[in-house]
Structure 1
């Protein structure tokens, strides 16, 4: 997942290599971006460690929308953890299931031709960053009809009031109303145009998770802080289904809190890096060429101070770049990188050069693999087919039980 996993904090505090040595070592790592991201601590069901020793293997599920090429924030925030979970699962016997969630994507307006391309590009990108279809179940959600079927059954149980309290829905509603109390009190806004699919989005997400439960154990889900409420809803829906039909079919899903890096916009370091931001220079795509990377980093917002320091509140732009570079170099503490930059001199220019070099070297092996994969459409089609078959094999027994419990099957 990340380079320089063997560089410990004590080494960094002692005879630390220069920035040039750190970046140049990227070229010599055969596995490039995939050695070991963040030291493998995770928390499952509130307990430290990657897997509790007792008990059956876990099923781990996560998904990503096929809306555009993944950017650096996607990778450092989620996808590198997917690779780590896959690697850990090889040793623990856990099952890891990763889905490209096209049904979620269409809850917002999409260009159909563009979406077709982006679905394929996302699959190729996930393979390029290190997901292995032989060790993970990797599939398109929209090719497994059981997701939509289970979502409908759960929709029939979930109250409108519960969904009205979801933070994401309230955010969309506020935007539609003009994002102000004044607009709401005036009776204006376009909330009536918001789609039912967007409102019921969290129920589909619950179906995605619950579908892959096993008799022995609940589904485990790696979540960030902004998704905790959605997982709580999934737990509530599981409990509601069990109480309604008087059978404990769905164990409440459990969270895995994974170490993540919050990557901010290069142009507005008070907000997250986003695919939907209108300014393309605000994000680094995993497909960006070295020249494009350098251009975007050169334009990144910093400040006029020549001394570097890591202070996200007072210096968000500089701290964002320090965090990105540290993550890509496998270094634990961005403040230590700031110290090294100050020793070598050069101020903000040196920081931007270091960040650009680290990004370019990290993305190089990903881009090489991506190009090879995109040139093999038959391979991509085979990955799609096998992923679909494996997912339906796992989902089928759950849906047979659901249909029987609700009275739609003998």
Structure 2
């Protein structure tokens, strides 16, 4: 049986190497596997859980689609669409929010991290967005969802909601309970300036990240200035736990080369960072620079990007509309 795979990316601009290695590169592999049916969603409803400039949001939606295609996702093989265009997502989110329990949402650690100390001023959307994420997934009978460490808890909530709905309405397997697709090797990319912080577009210094729109010279300069320590590269994988910056750079190299961390350590053990950074710059440039050039080319063709979204909407809406109609019947609407 084919795997039905659903995943989404927020259109918040400045997609970076962390987004690519943590998600998009994996999307491309999933797209290329004939055993998979893939749906990739530009989740703009999730994006507005924090304030967005409307003009920037529209631009960022196009940039996200361009990044998908430039990275190698084929819109003829997979569905690429814009979440807000398919009204079933918002409608299903409300119905499922009447199934989800407050206690479940109170345990979501990502809300606590994003809301910070002043959570009373956080939006209700930021608090309840895992329910919308569940709606996204369940509307398409998704069997598998690629998730990183920060989304595992949300997928567990999705599974709980699916099971409770099925039990409450006594309809076995109406909602498919999805399984996680978790990369076993290194995938969490950290800041180039601080190995203890996740690479983020919100960090003030642009030197902390490699943007997918960076050119060759920018990439080389950022890797050259990336924080390291004074020791040679380690010879044992256990040493990385005490050397976060070294672990991050070795992890980036390993992810791009499809190596295990141990294989990379074996290759560079005892060597200095200048030699390693030169090799790392070469493979990052080889991987990212063609994507950067293609993104810029695609952004000049808004008609093409809009056609991808229109075609994707028609396919996604057909699936989601049928599912929401059945949900109406089950609930009693």
1:71-128: CA deviation from partner (whole Å, max 9, x where unpaired): 111111111111111111x2x2x31111010000101111222111111111111110
Q: How does 1:197-236 map to 2 (within 5 A)?
A: 197-213=125-141, 219-236=143-160
What are structure 2's unaligned runs of at least 5 residues? none
Structure 1 position 246 matched with structure 2 position 145: no
Structure 1 position 65 matched with structure 2 position 10: yes
SS of 1:62's partner is strand
Structure 2 contact 5–39 (Cα < 8 Å) conserved: yes
Structure 1 position 299 matched with structure 2 position 203: no
Structure 1 window deviating more from structure 2 (330-339 vs 349-358): it is 330-339
Give the CA deviation at 1:302. Answer: 0.4
Among 380, 386, 399, the residue aligned to 2:311: 386
Among 283, 287, 290, the residue aligned to 2:216: 290
Structure with greater helix percent = 2
Structure 2 contact 62–302 (Cα < 8 Å) conserved: no
SS of 1:97's partner is strand
Query: In 1, Cα distance between the equivalents of 2:273 and 2:183?
Result: 31
What are structure 1's unaligned runs of at least 5 residues? 1-55, 178-189
Query: In 2, Cα distance between the equivalents of 1:78 and 1:63?
Result: 9
SS of 1:96's partner is strand
Aligned to 2:28: 83
Structure 1 contact 263–324 (Cα < 8 Å) conserved: yes
Query: In 1, Cα distance between the equivalents of 2:224 and 2:254?
Result: 18
Aligned to 2:264: 334
Query: In 2, Cα distance between the equivalents of 1:337 and 1:76?
Result: 21
Aligned to 1:134: 76
Give the CA deviation at 1:255. Answer: 1.6
Query: In 1, Cα distance between the equivalents of 2:258 and 2:108?
Result: 36
Taking structure 1 as the reference length, what is the TM-score of the superposition? 0.76
1:323-358: CA deviation from partner (whole Å, max 9, x where unpaired): 22233234332202313x73xxxx222222222222
Structure 1 contact 321–351 (Cα < 8 Å) conserved: no
- Assess, with a 3 A threshold, how the Cα gap between structure 1 residues 355 and 136 changes in structure 2: closer, same or farther: same
Structure 2 contact 214–289 (Cα < 8 Å) conserved: no
Q: Which runs of 4+ in 1 moved over 6 A?
A: none
- Assess, with a 3 A threshold, how the Cα gap between structure 1 residues 172 and 273 changes in structure 2: closer, same or farther: closer
Query: In 2, Cα distance between the equivalents of 1:57 and 1:398?
Result: 19
Structure 1 contact 326–337 (Cα < 8 Å) conserved: no
Aligned to 2:193: 267
1:218-267: CA deviation from partner (whole Å, max 9, x where unpaired): 53111223222111111111111112222132121222223452211100
Aligned to 1:74: 19
Give the CA deviation at 1:154. Answer: 0.7
SS of 1:98's partner is strand
Structure 1 contact 303–318 (Cα < 8 Å) conserved: yes
1:168-227: CA deviation from partner (whole Å, max 9, x where unpaired): 123234x1x2xxxxxxxxxxxx332111111111100100110001xxxx5311122322
Computed over aligned residues only, the root mean square deviation of the Cα atoms, in angstroms, reads: 1.7
**For this pair of structures, how many residues does the alignment match?**
326
**Higher Cα Rg, which structure:** 1
Structure 1 position 353 matched with structure 2 position 295: no
Structure 2 contact 112–119 (Cα < 8 Å) conserved: no
SS of 1:313's partner is helix
Q: How does 1:55-204 map to 2 (within 5 A)?
A: 56-88=1-33, 90=34, 92=35, 94-173=36-115, 175=116, 177=117, 190-204=118-132
Query: In 2, Cα distance between the equivalents of 1:116 and 1:397?
Result: 28
Query: In 2, Cα distance between the equivalents of 1:329 and 1:406?
Result: 50
1:24-48: CA deviation from partner (whole Å, max 9, x where unpaired): xxxxxxxxxxxxxxxxxxxxxxxxx
